[in-house]
Amino acid sequence: MPVQLRVNGKKYSVEVDPETPLLWVLRDHLGLTGTRFGCGAALCGSCTVHVDGEARRSCVLRVGEIGNGAVTTIEGLGARRPHPLQQAWIEHDVPQCGYCQAGQIMQAAALLKAIPHPTDTDIDQAMSGNICRCGTYSRIRAAIKTAAASMGGGKPGGGAA
């Protein structure tokens, strides 16, 4: 029986073993390659997506477990207009190789949804599961603060689903 999925506001019916991690369904079945494979063991955060607004490691999340959960990927985060985090990422020139940055941005978006004005400690707690091998951490921190400021007291989460 096909697995039913809701990703970035679209419904999909996918012929796939429900044990398959969401990451590979996104990448290889749906062609959403913005979510990236880094470790396969929830150690690096490159594959971070949102399920019902919460940050999840898609490399260990079995697609059959998602049920009616609404999945948001980096492609959906700024689909209508760039998320303030994406703008801040460009303003601070955060990426070096950039491979982990989709996961970093999704993690940060979940943080700002929960805590619109995070302290350094909040940022440490939320972001320390996401590895950047290029070492862009200081810029990630600065960009999160810029995005938080630009989002003001308005709607936390911006364009996130």
How far is the first Cα of the chain from the last one, in angstroms, to the nearest whole number?
A: 27
Q: Which of 133, 145, 156 is nearest to 45 (CA)?
A: 133
8 binds another protein (CB under 8 A): no
Which 59-98 positions form the footprint of another protein (CB under 8 A)? 73-75, 78, 82, 86, 89-90, 93-98
If the CB atoms of residues 24 and 56 are measured against another protein, the closer one turns out to be: 24
Query: Coil, strand, or helix at residue 51?
Result: strand
Give the shortest CB-106-to-another protein separation in angstroms: 9
Q: Say which residues have a Cβ less than 8 Å from residue 94's Cβ, sequence separation at least 6.
A: 88, 101, 104, 136, 139, 140, 143
Q: Which of 6, 56, 57, 139 binds another protein (CB under 8 A)?
A: 139
Give the shortest CB-24-to-another protein separation in angstroms: 4
8 Å CB contact between 100 and 106? no
Alpha-carbon span 9 to 94, nearest angstrom? 28
Which 20-59 positions form the footprint of another protein (CB under 8 A)? 20-21, 24, 27-29, 31-41, 43-44, 46
Give the shortest CB-144-to-another protein separation in angstroms: 10
Per residue, what are the HEC states of 118-142? CCHHHHHHHHCCCCCCCCCHHHHHH
Give the shortest CB-61-to-another protein separation in angstroms: 13
Where does this chain bind another protein (CB under 8 A)? 16-17, 20-21, 24, 27-29, 31-41, 43-44, 46, 73-75, 78, 82, 86, 89-90, 93-102, 105, 123-125, 127-141
